[in-house]
């Protein structure tokens, strides 16, 4: 079978896909200040040419070049003067932590319009409020099974009555010219169907993680979006978040020498056996595809490498009504081509623990917590003479959902490939299936070797 990485290999001209520069990185993350002696010197200062964005009208894909976007699409380029921050006079000494750039929002009428599908916890508590800090994205439509709830939400966010749809009316989004993108925030088992129908309705798709329940569903989603000439992005917010981006930069620049091992855990005590998360058909699995996926996806992201072998163990407390259909706990090991070994754990049965640690030759990098929506903490350690210096890096927090949605909007506006396209979600799904297979068969499972770095990702995101 042809390895999937050939897709992105052919899709990206790696010679023109450049690493994020310090300037771009600081623009993306906001200014960072390391508390302690090692400080900002830990971050490399390599300069690179600007990332070459695709031309306004075409973009390279596996099948060649995609034709111009249809007439309903917004202008292909964001004007340069709109991307330039307004400079304010200095009010803080240069020795103090500096503010980030002033926001550069686009006017409402030029932003990408989103329809949100599913009005549950994530949509109401995180995604809808995030539009308040978006610069290129706006919410223009809702899809829900509860007309009463939808009406309330529509009133709160100023969404037109005629832009509220039931699931039965979902396909009518086709005729709503204000909607360019659909954000799917439904139970995992519904992602494939709503992605495929959404693409067939002519809309670009941002789909929550996990991408779907099976690799076959992921492939069908990719095919449907390709066929409809629409973009597909998986909502891996961690890959658009400043702290984790900084860890990736440290690792890729070998700030602490070669990485040897990574230990990661994402677990929580989940309740309510009646919730879809405990239903196999709707969830696909238990803790692994829900929270364990963060360990898997973040390690792949930080290393830019793909595992070649996995070993997994699955356990559920007998007679616990929550775990009749899905698993409670998964522990797994992953081997990477560079020699890095990763050890991961996930559970629905223990108190919140969301962290990882990268152990390298001359230091370690710790994210604890690493995966919540706010309050992320980054620490590094390195010997300095007789001392072991631990440095806490204080980075400006950014709304994960706003940066993620604005990246997707930018890809639509400038006709670029998303950093986390469908192929990225498919690769995670394949690895999760191998972990389950390993646990079932009691042996290590080998995966296709992928030589290229970041084989399944699009060009690095920038925040303009």
* Residues involved in catalysis: 209, 294
- Closer residue to ligand NAD (CB): 140 or 150: 150
Cα–Cα distance measured from residue 135 to residue 195, given in angstroms and rounded to the nearest whole number: 25
Minimum distance, C-beta of residue 163 to ligand NAD, in the bound complex (Å): 18
Which are the contacts of 9, defined by CB distance < 8 A and separation ≥ 6? 452, 455
| By CB under 6 A, residue 185 contacts ligand NAD | yes
What tokens does 359 get?
């152990």
Q: Are 382 and 258 in contact (CB under 8 A)?
A: no
Which are the contacts of 109, defined by CB distance < 8 A and separation ≥ 6? none
What per-residue string of b and e applies to 329-338 under the rule 16 or more CB within 10 Å gives b?
A: bbbbbbbbee
- Closer residue to ligand NAD (CB): 24 or 290: 290
Which residue carries 């009208």 as its tokens?
57
- Closer residue to ligand NAD (CB): 118 or 363: 118
Tell me the CB-side half-sphere exposure of residue 171, using CA atoms within 13 A. Answer: 5
- Closer residue to ligand NAD (CB): 105 or 369: 369
- Range in contact with ligand NAD (rule: CB under 6 A) among 56-64, 171-179, 185-193, 253-261: 185-193
Q: What are the residue ranges of helices labelled H in 304-452?
A: 400-413, 422-441
| By CB under 6 A, residue 208 contacts ligand NAD | yes
Listed residue (199, 204, 193, 202) closest to 224, CA to CA: 199
- Range in contact with ligand NAD (rule: CB under 6 A) among 46-54, 96-104, 118-126, 171-179: 118-126
- Range in contact with ligand NAD (rule: CB under 6 A) among 93-101, 180-188, 346-354, 391-399: 180-188
- Closer residue to ligand NAD (CB): 185 or 222: 185
- Closer residue to ligand NAD (CB): 51 or 279: 279
| By CB under 6 A, residue 122 contacts ligand NAD | yes
Minimum distance, C-beta of residue 344 to ligand NAD, in the bound complex (Å): 18
Cα–Cα distance measured from residue 57 to residue 35, given in angstroms and rounded to the nearest whole number: 46
Number of other residues whose CB lies within 10 A of the CB of residue 222:
21
- Closer residue to ligand NAD (CB): 290 or 306: 290
Among 187, 267, 363, 418, binds ligand NAD (CB under 6 A): 187
Minimum distance, C-beta of residue 268 to ligand NAD, in the bound complex (Å): 11
| By CB under 6 A, residue 151 contacts ligand NAD | no
Cβ-closest residue to ligand NAD? 120
| By CB under 6 A, residue 118 contacts ligand NAD | yes
- Range in contact with ligand NAD (rule: CB under 6 A) among 120-128, 151-159, 192-200, 388-396: 120-128
| By CB under 6 A, residue 38 contacts ligand NAD | no
Which are the contacts of 268, defined by CB distance < 8 A and separation ≥ 6? 291, 347, 348, 350, 351, 352, 353, 354
| By CB under 6 A, residue 186 contacts ligand NAD | yes
Among 56, 282, 359, 390, binds ligand NAD (CB under 6 A): 282
Minimum distance, C-beta of residue 125 to ligand NAD, in the bound complex (Å): 8
| By CB under 6 A, residue 296 contacts ligand NAD | no
What per-residue string of b and e applies to 85-100 under the rule 16 or more CB within 10 Å gives b?
A: eeeeeeeeeeeeebeb
| By CB under 6 A, residue 188 contacts ligand NAD | yes
Among 12, 150, 181, 235, binds ligand NAD (CB under 6 A): 235
What tokens does 208 get?
């929550």
Among 3, 105, 120, 129, binds ligand NAD (CB under 6 A): 120
- Range in contact with ligand NAD (rule: CB under 6 A) among 58-66, 113-121, 211-219, 301-309: 113-121
Among 5, 197, 237, 398, binds ligand NAD (CB under 6 A): 237
Among 203, 209, 231, 300, binds ligand NAD (CB under 6 A): 209
Cis peptide, bond prior to residue 369, ω within 30 of zero:
yes
Which strands make up the sheet holding 204-207, listed edge to edge?
164-165, 137-143, 112-117, 181-184, 204-207, 232-234
Dump the DSSP string for 190-215.
Answer: GHHHHHHHHHHTT-EEEEPSS--SSH
Among 85, 103, 145, 257, binds ligand NAD (CB under 6 A): 145
CA dist list (Å): 64 to 11, 59, 227, 408? 8, 8, 13, 21
Q: What are the helix and strand counts (H, E) for the chain? A: 14, 18
- Closer residue to ligand NAD (CB): 76 or 282: 282
What tokens does 142 get?
């809702």
Q: Which residues bind ligand NAD (CB under 6 A)?
A: 118-123, 145, 185-188, 208-209, 235, 237, 276, 282, 290
């Amino acid at each position: 079978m042809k390895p999937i990485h050939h897709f992105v290999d052919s899709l990206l001209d790696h010679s023109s896909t450049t690493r994020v520069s310090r300037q771009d990185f600081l623009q993306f993350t906001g200014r960072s200040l390391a508390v302690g002696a090692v400080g900002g010197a830990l971050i490399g200062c390599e300069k690179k040419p600007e990332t070459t964005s695709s031309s306004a009208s075409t973009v390279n894909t596996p099948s060649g070049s995609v034709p111009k976007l249809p007439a309903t699409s917004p202008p292909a380029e964001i004007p340069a003067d709109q991307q330039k921050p307004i400079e304010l006079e200095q009010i803080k000494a240069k020795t103090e932590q500096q503010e980030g750039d002033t926001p550069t929002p686009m006017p409402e009428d030029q932003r990408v319009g989103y329809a949100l599908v599913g009005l549950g916890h994530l949509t109401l508590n995180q995604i809808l409020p995030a539009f308040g800090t978006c610069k290129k994205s706006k919410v223009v439509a809702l899809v829900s099974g509860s007309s009463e709830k939808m009406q309330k939400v529509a009133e709160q966010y100023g969404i037109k009555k005629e832009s509220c749809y039931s699931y039965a009316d979902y396909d009518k989004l086709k005729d709503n010219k204000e909607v360019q993108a659909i954000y799917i925030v439904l139970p995992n088992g519904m992602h494939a169907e709503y992605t495929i129908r959404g693409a067939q309705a002519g809309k670009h798709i941002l789909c929550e993680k996990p991408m779907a329940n099976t690799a076959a569903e992921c492939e069908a989603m990719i095919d449907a979006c390709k066929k409809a000439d629409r973009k597909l992005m998986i909502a891996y917010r961690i890959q658009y978040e400043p702290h984790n981006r900084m860890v990736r930069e440290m690792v890729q620049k070998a700030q602490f020498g070669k990485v040897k091992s990574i230990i990661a855990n994402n677990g929580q005590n989940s309740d309510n056996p009646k919730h879809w998360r405990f239903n196999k058909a709707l969830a696909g699995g238990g803790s692994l595809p829900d929270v364990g996926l963060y360990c898997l996806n973040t390690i792949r992201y930080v290393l830019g490498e793909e595992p070649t072998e996995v070993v997994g163990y699955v356990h559920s407390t007998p007679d616990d009504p929550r775990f009749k259909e899905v698993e409670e706990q998964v522990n797994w090991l992953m081997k990477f081509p560079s020699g890095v070994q990763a050890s991961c754990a996930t559970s629905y049965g223990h108190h919140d623990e969301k962290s990882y640690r990268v152990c390298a030759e001359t230091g370690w990098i710790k994210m604890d917590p690493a995966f919540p929506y706010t309050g992320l903490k980054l620490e590094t350690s390195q010997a300095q003479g007789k001392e072991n210096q631990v440095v806490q890096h204080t980075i400006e927090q950014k709304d994960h959902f706003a940066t993620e949605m604005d990246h997707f909007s930018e890809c639509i506006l400038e006709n670029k490939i998303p950093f986390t396209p469908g192929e990225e979600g498919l690769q995670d799904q394949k690895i999760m299936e191998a972990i389950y297979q390993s646990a079932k068969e009691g042996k290590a499972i080998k995966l296709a070797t992928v030589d290229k770095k970041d084989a399944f990702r699009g060009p690095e995101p920038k925040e303009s």
